[in-house]
Amino acid sequence: MIITKKALPRRTFLRGMGATLALPLLDAMIPAATAATRTPALPVRRLGYVFMPMGCDQSRWTPPGTDGLLGELSPILGSLGSMKQHVTAFTNLELRPAYPGSHATSNSAFLSAAKAKHTESSDYYLGTTADQLAAQQIGRDTQLPSLELSMDMLQTTGQCDNGYACVYQNNLSWSSPTTPLPSEAHPRIVFERLFGEGGTLAERRAALRKRASLLDWVTEDIASLRRELGPADQARLGEYLDTVREVERRIQKAEADAATSSLPVDLERPLGVPAAYTDHAKLMFDLQVLAMQGDITRICTFQLARETSNRTYFAETGVADPHHPLSHHGNDPEKIARMSKINAFHVSLFAYYLERLKATPDGDGSLLDHSLILYGSGIGNPNVHDHTNLPILVAGGAAGGMKGGRHIRYQQPVPLANLHLTLLDKVGVRIDSFGDSTGKITELFNPLTV
């Protein structure tokens, strides 16, 4: 690597045998004339989507109050307390293209706002999803146009729900109506997609066994770069490298634990994946933070579980019931209460993600300031497969003018596609319509009037 007194390109990498390390946004990446005025480096805009399966207990989700402020949080949203000023909750958004109601169409329509072709075979047809429309424009200049992640290791095949092919609930992202994009749930594979380069996967892993960290491959370049940076950039680079090393350490620990475990192999959690769901989910969120911090990608989607998942969350919530059967609660108050604990647990993971984004510097603010993150589900009331009054949150975006700390409540159902259209517009993707949209949601970026 050659470093000069000129501004570093934003797409600067440190490269070694088997590794390529993208850098976070540094003040050294702005032109010298601008640097003299102490203007921070200009950040980019990012989009994130986090999918929660099987709806929620709406009575414990919906924030109380009607004045537009996100004041007291509902029981399910309680973990967002420290992030409340960055979050907007929506009431009465709907997903009409998902009808007739099903789990498959909830998953498939969430980012596409499109009606899935009813088929059990390979002639499936949907629509290009919002994240991929963004990837086609703001993802063109990054190493990865988009990053698709999930928590489920197995991809089911055949038909999964009411005569719909499993592809509809396996995949959130579609780059065209006939091209679903598979998601990755294995942290090691994701890490190597972000930072590995050169040689085969087996060769890189053999080299890793000889070194403590992937960062060992770029030690000389790191030292050379540090000599050219000012104190603020040196601190920012150090924090970034510490995070990369810590994420890698957690992946290595999971692999070591699996190698010494006497438990039988779990096909849904192969070797090297953290045993605890919470540890796995937080690791996947941290990988997304690193991907955005290094500008490796600007678009991330993450599926906390697929629709019809029978995963249990006893260790995290004390609820022993599998999630999918519990969601069909038959209006039993005790079952609804147990389901809401799962909902609250998933939201707590989202709160962790927002906290990590807020704690990560980016230009004149944080990654959270320069991102728009949508969290939600394609089902409202799972007991009846309803796609009205969806549980939806949007977080971040202060640098782009988003006004958080509010609750936008509609008297009549409004298409979720309107929100997708709005978020795309805010990151520079200009399209006239999306799915069944009827317009943009201007309230999200306007001053609150009560």
Q: Please tell us whether the domain made up of 43-185+281-445 is placed in CATH 3.40.720.10.
A: yes
Residue intervals in the chain for CATH 3.40.720.10: 43-185+281-445
pLDDT (0 to 100) of residue 348: 98
pLDDT, residue 126, reads 97
What confidence score (pLDDT) does residue 271 get? Answer: 58
Compute the radius of gyration of the chain from its Cα atoms: 22
Q: State residue 380's pLDDT score.
A: 96
Tokens of 275: 């045993």
SS3 of residue 68 by DSSP: coil
Q: By C-alpha distance, which of 109, 73, 147 is closest to 406?
A: 73
pLDDT by 10-residue block (mean), the chain, 450 residues: 52 69 84 48 85 96 87 96 96 96 93 95 94 95 94 70 87 96 92 72 54 74 88 89 89 76 46 87 97 95 94 97 96 98 98 97 92 97 95 90 92 97 95 97 75
Token pair of 244, please? 């990369």
Model pLDDT, residue 364 = 86
> Of 294, 233, 292, 235, which is closest to residue 27 (Cα–Cα)?
233
What DSSP string runs through 177-228?
A: TTEEE--B--HHHHHHHHHB-SS-HHHHHHHHHHSS-GGGGGHHHHHHHHHT
H helix or E strand, kind and range, residue 374: strand 371-376
Does the pTM surpass 0.75? The reply is yes
**CA atoms lying within 13 Å on the CB side of residue 45:** 18
Q: H helices within 196-327, ranges in order? A: 201-210, 219-227, 231-260, 277-293, 314-317, 323-327
* Structure-block tokens of residue 410: 């509609």
